Structure 1
């Protein structure tokens, strides 16, 4: 089975202690996942200078604000598992050099339309994952790779949070849509994984972000997280476009759209005549709705003369133009079966460019790419700093507060190092751990008693969730004795005794709270790797609690890897329900010679006398939990028989 093959493959995962490079000087990212790498070229505390380029002019007060923003980011976070690259960033794009030529089309017009935008300044950070070692740098971005996470913090920025509607925009008027996604949004972006991504590292629920608008930006090469703050908490300087304005702007831009088509040779018989008819259809069909606002049914909607020609050829109002925020989708009997979200057409207000030409920020945009790998330690640290450690309130008070801020910037909470030091503080071993340590028949025992609550056990190799980024950590539960490892993904002991031969018993305690394991999802795999003269054998016990919605539903154990034994699809274990608030089971595997005996809560589940070849030894142990589930494990015990 493919799933089982994957689980067996995951059995072998590990983290290397040394940083090694290949013959091209490239690192394997797992070697530096938890290493403090830092910034490539930290910003220096130098006097700001005015900058003029491509017709854009930034006075010294604006470049100084950009340096301050970058410095605050630098003070907030020393990159872990990623190489940070930070610089002052000023919005100063060049205009098109092809205006008036046959090469001038929508892409070139888009450049000229940016002239309608205001001055924008701040900091750009890139956090590189693909790293190499060079003759001058221990860590350096690998040439030719673009595997980095981008973070922009910009004052008065428009492009980071909008998509320009090129056909309507001009060098003096900027028309756009504003992509955003919130949990449960219907229509174009109605996907469960977007909800999961929105909640990544508590982005939606963080108290640090609650005073400010924050949402997932769902378009582009990589989805992004956006935080916006405005002066006096006013709305952003956009206004919705009415049907009347859309029609006027389309008519005024018609010659330009025609020229774009000619330049690109997008012509066919009667297309110009049909495009003119299309404009008439729009006017006729929408004349009773001229005061309504325009919405598009897709966030990245662009318009060209072919769209108008298509309207003229069929004489119908296209469905991409809407006049309501939500559209009801009807079945063939006219009954609403679902709804779709539409996106308002917006225009940057008049005078915004002039207001932002020389003064301070009117609004601030914080935008960070979603993680390349949500379970990678460096990505988790980066997101946690973006969500919880960056001091958004200080920035708001500094730029927009009524009183002058005189205290220096301070990030919130503890740094990665401080958290690591606090979490790794050892606790005293339990009486059971001390007793087992003194017993020579006990080969291995772990109850996590010497690991602080909230910390990952130092003596275990663990893997973060690739959905939430959560790491397995030690926890306690109400009315439950002892400490437990809260587990998703993998956990394997580093100090596991190699080559356990002879007769032994492995036992471990499992615990789930009601709701931790949804019905129909996989249970927890306990993976044992054996080796001997006959080769390797991977034995997997998959244990699941019963349905949490049925009080009488028993749990079960599935067994994989015993090719020489007759094994049923599953074995019921009545003592491991899923419906109680806390559900606990003790699972045991005994190896005696060639035989195997499996019990749950002291009741026999399975037995076979031909499970092992003579001389087989236990070499490794791993626990694996599916991303959608959560299990707790403790009292892992291996003793000689």
Structure 2
């Protein structure tokens, strides 16, 4: 009996020691990496969802119901391991004036009003944990990775071209290096196909966004849309210059230049319009570094200097950097986004700690378990899906 007690005590001691806790940080990621910690709460969707109104935006009961379904699909496909997971749903951010923001910051925030009608759900993986008085894991802080499913998402997978955008029109570029002739850089190539990302999602538009381009963390993005066609229009060089000219007076109030320089910017714009006359109907493509244009860029666009559409290296060779078309959502699609039928669906997840076990396990679980085909057919298939969602594989399996 004494031997049994001793062995049991040792086992408990070893288990306790394995979970290494550090003050103000929480349990080290390595010490809890193999524990199926699970969800804070398993979500049960109400039988009758309730609609919601935010400012001038009205989200129908059906749209809220879809958001709640997204949570169920995620929870049925993924069992959090090495982290604690919470979930919820949300809608578009409503643009608000901030007294502590700059004029430029408030102007760019106003452009959020032109974004499509969006609603979705998130799964938040808390990575640093502690235990409460009952011995249950709880978040130590708010550091987390995210998995999201969103109808009509655009803001967080694109980069705004703010100079020609407004509260009525949102112009943007999507940093999809997988569709670019130059492809990913050497540093991003391996990450772009982590665990055969391309193989698993070959039937749908998908791409990897490196860190610090759209958000701090790197993202894996999958977009589902009918027949894999997105309702976006490529903007011409002519439309770019027309919109830019229209926005000149407004930006002079927001990021003003001297009267002399404003006049120079106008002259340079006139010269650029003349120079690009033969390319007026060509697609406007820019480098990612050129998405945040300001009046000063037109002040500097003197004869002999590079302009927004130039893509030269230090030796004057054309095509030095990847360029991406400026896009906008089709007006008909913008209106349809407000209906109960999503126009496109974005499924994306962050890999802020790609070497951490919990983050790798999330990525692996989505690729192996999440039923992308079901979701596509549910919203965009020829016949409405009637059977309930089932993951490709059980998240409790190995």
Partner of 1:175: 171
1:255 counterpart = 2:236:
no
Partner of 1:232: 227
1:341 counterpart = 2:341:
no
Partner of 1:57: 58
Relative to the length of structure 1, the TM-score reads 0.56
Instruction: Give SS of 2:276's match.
Output: helix
Q: Which of 194, 197, 204 matches 1:212?
A: 204
Partner of 2:19: 19
Correspondence list, 1:450-529, <5 A = none
Aligned length: 381
Cα distance change on mapping 1:137 and 1:159 into 2, 3 Å: farther
For residues 234-282 of structure 1, give each alpha carbon's deviation from its aligned partner in whole angstroms, at most 9, with x where no partner exists.
Answer: x2111111111111101110111101124xxxx4572212212221221
The structure in which a higher percent of residues are helix is: 2
Instruction: Give SS of 1:61's match.
Output: helix
Instruction: Give SS of 1:172's match.
Output: coil
Cα distance change on mapping 1:76 and 1:15 into 2, 3 Å: same
Instruction: Give SS of 1:70's match.
Output: helix
Relative to the length of structure 2, the TM-score reads 0.88
CA distance in 2 between counterparts of 1:252 and 1:68 reads 43
Cα distance change on mapping 1:184 and 1:396 into 2, 3 Å: closer
Partner of 1:149: 145
- Contact 1:160-1:367 within 8 A present in 2 as well: no
1:48 counterpart = 2:49:
yes
Q: Which of 154, 158, 169 matches 2:154?
A: 158
- Contact 1:177-1:300 within 8 A present in 2 as well: no
Cα distance change on mapping 1:122 and 1:318 into 2, 3 Å: same
CA distance in 1 between counterparts of 2:29 and 2:16 reads 10
What's the CA shift for 1:232? 3.3
What's the CA shift for 1:15? 10
What's the CA shift for 1:328? 7.3
- Contact 1:38-1:84 within 8 A present in 2 as well: yes
Correspondence list, 1:543-554, <5 A = none
CA distance in 1 between counterparts of 2:235 and 2:377 reads 33
Cα distance change on mapping 1:128 and 1:95 into 2, 3 Å: same
Partner of 1:407: 387
CA distance in 1 between counterparts of 2:113 and 2:358 reads 38
Partner of 2:269: 279
For residues 323-378 of structure 1, give each alpha carbon's deviation from its aligned partner in whole angstroms, at most 9, with x where no partner exists.
Answer: xxxx675857x7x8x8532111112211322111122211100111124032x322
Partner of 1:195: 189
Partner of 2:6: none
- Contact 1:106-1:167 within 8 A present in 2 as well: no
1:369 counterpart = 2:350:
yes
Cα distance change on mapping 1:285 and 1:16 into 2, 3 Å: farther
What's the CA shift for 1:214? 0.9
What's the Cα RMSD here? 2.7
Instruction: Give SS of 1:321's match.
Output: coil
1:33 counterpart = 2:38:
no
Structure 1: 5+ residue stretches without partners: 1-13, 420-641
Compare relative contact order (CA 8 Å, sep 6+) and give the higher one, 1 or 2. 2
For residues 24-68 of structure 1, give each alpha carbon's deviation from its aligned partner in whole angstroms, at most 9, with x where no partner exists.
Answer: 582122111010011123322323111112322101000001111
- Contact 1:239-1:347 within 8 A present in 2 as well: yes
- Contact 1:76-1:385 within 8 A present in 2 as well: yes
Structure 2: 5+ residue stretches without partners: 1-13
